[in-house]
Structure 1
Amino acid sequence: MSDLHDHGFKEVTRVAPARERLREAVTPVDRTDTVPLSAAEGRALAEPVDARHAVPDYHRAAMDGFAVRAADTFGASDRAPEVLREVGDDEGTDPEDASVGPGEATRVHTGSALPDGADAVVMVEQTDLFAGEVEVFDAVAEGENVAPPGEDVEEGQRLYDPGHQLRPSDLGLLKSCGVRRVRVHDRPMVGVIPTGEEVVERDPGPGEVVETNGLTVSRYVERWGGAATYRNTVTDDPEALRAAIERDLTKDLIVTTGGSSVGERDLIPEVVDRLGEVLVHGVALKPGHPFGFGVVRDTPVLMLPGYPVACIVNAVQFLRPAIKWAGQMPLREHPTRTATLTRKLPSEPGVKTFARVTVAESGEGEAGLEATPTRASGSGVLSSVALADGWVVVPEETEGYAEGATVPVEDWEYYA
């Protein structure tokens, strides 16, 4: 009999259909706010953003050298240099405020505005300066070594579409284009409720455990773009659990940790079903099949298992996408790298397995990396995931991978 049935689940839902049902239950947040760029990192745009001005918005020197009129350099060579009069460098005159007339040149630096009258820049390596005169040893064409307006970004150019989640580099580009404030979707509000009569904050006695799931999940909520309210632990009492869930029905999502299985003290599914409706209870996922979710008064309630590894795996697979859908943010795939397994990795058919691995350089094989499973089981061993470098996802249709197999290792800790 499978491990799933040993725990009393008569049937379980595969990960993909479970996620689809969850997506149908999540309502995108329609609240928006206009914020300065300093407060916009990680937020999803609520409207398109266009450049307010070109970058650069002037002709600028693309090289260190001398700004000239290209026609004054025609015919210049090493043997017969053209000699121009240096201007704009006397009595502290700023070269950018100078103008260039026929037969004149003025010193410029990369990024400097091109002086009036100039239409090209001679690289400093192709010149020689002596007694106020500039010898030019190479002819330049009009526009040579000059960056025109809009070379980087054109005025009015579409920069980002709605739903784009802003990164630090995006903020720099927006500021350079004259954008100072952006309209963004509000972060989904998520109530995080750890549960369990055996859960304590510190100094556990026999049979007690320190509360870590709520802390871990609340930090992931923030990392994934939500706004977490991390509640105190609620004991295994139906009325206390009901009150805790009802208190957070003002949130966009509720997530509980612990009490999600089918034992005598696993009360969360029953409480959720009495307040609303449980849509999924039990998933074909390892570690962490005692996951479920329901809806109470239009608020999705995600019930994460109490074992720390199972809690994290299900948070990544279900809570992360729920936050992205609610916040109208893109749900990106986790980055992967290829590695060679150092030993056999078994998996139960019909169950999607997330096997934690460490990754090290091997210098052999196609990948050049080798992956070693930290544990094949043990969903309560937090160090097996906290000290891992990623996990290998074994699909439901696969009975595992043999030693020496080349497998993708998923970096599930990836920020996005």
Structure 2
Amino acid sequence: MLFRERTDVGKAKELFLDEIKSMDRTEQLPATSSIGRVLSTSILAPRNVPHYRRSAMDGFAVRSVDLIGASPTNPVMLQVSDEVMESTCAPVNTGDYVPDEADAVLMMEDTISIGDMIEIRAQVHPGKNVGEIGEDVRKKEIIFNKGHFLRPCDVAVLASLGINDVKVYAKPVVAIVPTGNDLLPLPGDDVLPPGKTLDINSLMIGEYVKKWGGIARYCEIVPENKQLIEEAIKTNLDADMIVVSGGTSVGDKDYVPGIVEKLGKKLVHGVGLSPGKPTALGVADNVPILCMPGYPAAGLVALFAFGKPALRKAGNIPDIPDTKVKATLSGKIMSREGYLSYARVILEGDVAHPLMTAGAGILSSIAKSDGFVIIPENVEGYEEGNKVDVVLIE
């Protein structure tokens, strides 16, 4: 498989992302349905939290001046009452309203009940165990900035402020165009004809698109025909991104990169990625197009390397770092110098067992693995016993 030129992954990604414009479409959603979405406006607090002085402890609301000098050897006696005044106190639980006349809360542990009186063996300073108005959130304070990725804890904060609806960016629509004369749609028969394979790539791509915050638009399988492939791409230029699976190599029927160049601009064809060298990147009518290899494992690596960051930029979705764990290699991993290599490994505690370092068409090797060891272009593999970062497969 020969390419006239091979672009390193970092440069290819930079060229691709530079062509992508972040969407400005927005929608209004109930706050309770906004987890995993991105705010398109900043949110100001409509009120204080708490909006009243509240107790931080179970105990008694008191005037601190009445407890001056209290100690185990010099206890102070107060009357338990519904009101707080000189020489009286009021019972409160955590979160209860603290009467205006009280300036502190005495912990239950520092008292002994004697009938309707309490014996106090500790003094408190003003403000002790009292949550002041606005202590958590001040009215008109910026709670979340535009571009914030909403998590479950964030939605709980919104609920505490009485915010029922939020404005978020719309999800980017990703059109998935499978190509190949050998493909059959899912679900497949028990026995496939010789030379035929199921279109599992569309399913894989679509599930990752949804996981990463997009909407998958599944297209029918397109035969290896220039006109039909071109028409399929043109039909989907209303999407925010297009992923074409297959037809990206340098064979007589690998039409996709040339069609992208005809419709717009081919940025890259052939990258220093292993597996995934036949990847092509381009843009047409301001729509980014990822042309990934038809071999599932190579296609998945291309999707991780280019599709994920492209989708996130298009959808205004903050970049979330990969989840990595440290591990020790149980065997040697080979790589090709000049290629960013994704080696599959199985984790067993803090040991990484190399599963397969070749085989771009074998998707099951990824399903069997726990993650990738990503080997830089200038490194010729890793030896047994090396400490490595394992990027967990989502």
Task: Look up the match of 2:373.
Answer: 392
- 1:140-186 deviation digits (Å, cap 9, x = unpaired): 22111112223322333323222222111121122223433222222
Task: Look up the match of 1:288.
Answer: 276
Partner secondary structure for residue 301 of structure 1: strand
Q: Structure 1 runs of 4+ off > 6 angstroms?
A: none
- 1:197-244 deviation digits (Å, cap 9, x = unpaired): 212221222222122111111111111121211223222222322222
CA distance in 2, matches of 1:197, 1:80: 93
Task: Look up the match of 2:353.
Answer: 372
Task: Look up the match of 2:170.
Answer: 186
In the alignment of these two chains, the number of paired residues is 390
Task: Look up the match of 2:8.
Answer: 14
CA distance in 2, matches of 1:77, 1:332: 53
Q: TM-score, normalised by structure 2?
A: 0.94
Partner secondary structure for residue 106 of structure 1: strand
Read off the aligned partner of 2:227 and give its amino acid letter: E
CA distance in 1, matches of 2:48, 2:343: 50
* Correspondence 1:327 to 2:315: yes
* Correspondence 1:383 to 2:364: yes
Identity in percent: 39
Task: Look up the match of 1:149.
Answer: 133
**Residue ranges of structure 1 left out of the alignment (5+ in a row):** 1-6, 89-98, 362-368
2:324 aligned to 328, 332, 336, which one? 336
Read off the aligned partner of 1:154 and give its amino acid letter: R
**1:51 Cα deviation from its structure 2 partner:** 2.2
Task: Look up the match of 1:278.
Answer: 266
1:48 aligned to 31, 42, 46, which one? 42
- Do the aligned partners of 2:38 and 2:149 also contact (CA within 8 Å) in 1? yes
- Do the aligned partners of 1:316 and 1:412 also contact (CA within 8 Å) in 2? no
Identify the range of structure 1 (337-346 vs 42-51) with the bigger mean alpha-carbon deviation.
42-51
Read off the aligned partner of 2:127 and give its amino acid letter: G
**1:316 Cα deviation from its structure 2 partner:** 0.8
CA distance in 1, matches of 2:152, 2:200: 30
2:118 aligned to 134, 140, 143, which one? 134
1:403 aligned to 363, 371, 384, which one? 384
1:265 aligned to 244, 253, 257, which one? 253
Alignment RMSD (CA, Å): 1.7
Read off the aligned partner of 1:177 and give its amino acid letter: L
CA distance in 1, matches of 2:64, 2:312: 55
CA distance in 2, matches of 1:209, 1:141: 76
CA distance in 1, matches of 2:220, 2:79: 78
1:304 aligned to 292, 296, 300, which one? 292
**Residue ranges of structure 2 left out of the alignment (5+ in a row):** none
Identify the range of structure 1 (392-401 vs 289-298) with the bigger mean alpha-carbon deviation.
289-298
Q: TM-score, normalised by structure 1?
A: 0.89
- Do the aligned partners of 2:273 and 2:340 also contact (CA within 8 Å) in 1? yes
* Correspondence 1:31 to 2:25: yes
* Correspondence 1:105 to 2:89: yes
Partner secondary structure for residue 345 of structure 1: coil
Read off the aligned partner of 1:370 and give its amino acid letter: V
**1:127 Cα deviation from its structure 2 partner:** 1.4
